[in-house]
Amino acid sequence: MIVTVVGVEVILTTARVEDVPALVASAAALFREDGGRRDPFMDVDWPARDGHDYYRGMVTGEGSLALLARAGSPDGPVAGHLTARLRGRDELRPDAVVAELVSMRVDEEHRGHGVGARLVEGFFAWAGERGANQAVVSAYAANTDAIRFYKARGFAPMHVSLQADLDA
């Protein structure tokens, strides 16, 4: 799928094993930009240090998806990514076939031009082809831009997770 963004074509591709380093770099940027600003306990070095095997599994796993948005050509610089997986059956919700959007990031210069929307469309298509009847995503409550983005694509709050910091 090709999207023209600020005069540059952005091409969505399914990540390959040789794309794992680029996927890890995009995920590391997400950890720094999102988790690093919103969660004082987030290990922002995890993707670079330990994420290669995890993201290789997202690329090669039967029930997982890794999409890359590349600027200019199928091998151009990564402008964003999306990872997803199918959840296993849940005995409390036996008829739910759930696809989870695990992570998504679009480089700042490409935001607001449809790249994220196209990544989500690719995720929805992948999920539907695998029989999913529900899609889920989580976002930090303080990330109002992400919440607004996901709501505009049909996601709605289902659960609220609350936390309390405890002094040691």
The 10s digit of each residue's pLDDT in 2-31 is: 555 556 688 899 999 999 999 999 999 999
**pLDDT tens per residue across span 69-83:** 998 888 889 999 999
Report domain extents, the chain: 2-152
What pLDDT does 78 receive? 93
Mean of all residue pLDDT scores within the chain? 92
Residue range 2-152 in CATH 3.30.70.20: no
Q: What's the CA gap between 80 and 117, in Å, rounded?
A: 11
The identity of residue 150, as a single letter, is Y
Non-local (6+) Cβ contacts of 121 within 8 A are: 1
Give the pLDDT mean for 114-119.
92
Work out the number of other CB atoms within 10 angstroms of the CB of residue 132: 20
State pTM to two decimals.
0.91
The strands making up 134-137's β-sheet, listed across from edge to edge, are 2-5, 8-14, 64-71, 78-86, 98-106, 134-137
